[in-house]
Amino acid sequence: MADLIVRSLGVQPYLETWEAMKTFTAERHAQVADELWFLEHPRVYTQGQAGKAEHILAPGDIPVIQVDRGGQVTYHGPGQLVVYLMIDLTRKKLGVRGLVDEIEQAIVRTLAGLGVEAAPRSDAPGVYVGASKIASLGLRVRRGCSFHGLALNVDMDMEPFRRINPCGYAGMAMSQVRDFVPAAVMADVQQRLTEQLVSGLGHPEVEFLQGW
């Protein structure tokens, strides 16, 4: 029996996916396999629990949703690879900081495989190429289990980031994989990141599924 299920979900509405994450976490028990959900969202801003309204400058026609993860405001949209990590941290004997480190290093290794040098920063969660942020992180832990996760900018319209202070930082430069690898495609980046997250988290039995 698999101890990790990896789901490729395509484009999914934000609210329904958030509800599914919360339900999965609330109903899981010690024998339930961990899951990674790979997907994209239609255009949406999400504001973390400690989020400040002044960081949302001019959302215009893009909805703003208050959510229960850590962090400030961020943007999700087509061409951004989102991964939600439903991990039983107690079972894995993994702390929140350890999970954040695993996520950041998986992104760093994925980008290195594409020839892009990236690194995390100690003062601001996420992964950066030079001074620009290419991936954002935001997690919630309930009953010893994580949900929410990461967003890696791959090949998207970056304009909506200019309508906010990304992650609460005014003037934060944002970048995407296509800035550095013009031929990058979502499917390849997803495959690479899947491999790095699975190996980094160390689940011996993995099942790959398309859809729910």
Closest CA to 40 of 71, 75, 70: 75
Is 145 labeled as catalytic in the residue annotation? no
pLDDT in tens, 68-121: 887 789 999 999 999 999 999 999 999 999 999 999 999 999 999 999 999 999
**What is residue 72's predicted lDDT score, i.e. its pLDDT?**
85
Closest CA to 180 of 120, 135, 123: 135
What does the DSSP 8-state code read for residue 156? Answer: -
Has residue 122 got a pLDDT over 90? Answer: no
Q: How confident is the model at residue 203 (pLDDT cuts 50, 70, 90)?
A: confident
Can you give the pTM of this predicted structure? Answer: 0.95
Q: Considering the candidates 83, 145, 151, 167, report the single residue annotated as catalytic.
A: 167
Coil, helix or strand for 93?
coil
Q: How far apart are CA 17 and CA 172, in angstroms?
A: 27
pLDDT in tens, 148-175: 999 999 999 999 999 999 888 888 899 9
Task: List the alpha helices (DSSP H) in 13-162.
Answer: 14-27, 89-92, 96-113
Rg for the chain, CA atoms, rounded: 16
Instruction: Return phi, psi of residue 87, to 5°.
Output: -115, 130
Has residue 1 got a pLDDT over 80? Answer: no
